[in-house]
Amino acid sequence: MARLRVGVLISGRGSNLQALIDAAADPAYPAEIVLVVANHGDAGGLARAKAAGIRTETINHRAFNAKQGFEASIDATLRAARIDLVCLAGFMRILSSWFVERWRDRLINIHPSLLPAFKGLDTHERVLAAGARFTGCTVHFVRPDVDDGPIIVQAVVPVMPDDDADSLAARVLGAEHHSYPLAVRLIAEGRIQIRDDRVDILNAAAPAEVVMFNPIK
């Protein structure tokens, strides 16, 4: 069976991109990263892609007078590369409804919270301010509203009593690096169905019980 052709949109260092690259390096992994697109040339993830022999493109949003032209250029680049699935990995541009609908159910994102809680920016600071005992990350299909859409994979991590935003972010990022490749695998294996804007995972075994880890002794 042909591997799923994945394109990744980035703006920054590309640590989640690297997790996807590492997963796809296994010939048994059902997806391959064939294109990485950055919205500016200083994105650190471009070097990661080039080191892995993956084609890269820079489409600078500042080169366009309007969002429509920027997104149309990205869309044309993805389609020319015959991309099956688009992964947002630290892509710091809000996509229009036009683009989202063009790639509906073929566009996914990872967010550093347990959605629908703590949408938007400054996630870890807000988690700490709220006194939450746990947080995590969410991989979801993208919808026009920011950080919204059917949830594919979530991972939970504890909030430690001595956490600051940086230490909590590092713990959540570790969960992200496992969750994103898993979500792509589930899609590539054809195990994801969307019904009534919710995700069903085929052949998924639910645990008999849920264990909550309490970091407070």
> Both ends of the chain: CA-CA distance in Å?
50
Residue 111 falls in the annotated catalytic set = yes
Per annotation, catalytic residue among 111, 124, 140, 177: 111
- DSSP state letters, 11-30: SS--HHHHHHHHHHTSTTSS
**Catalytic site residues?**
111
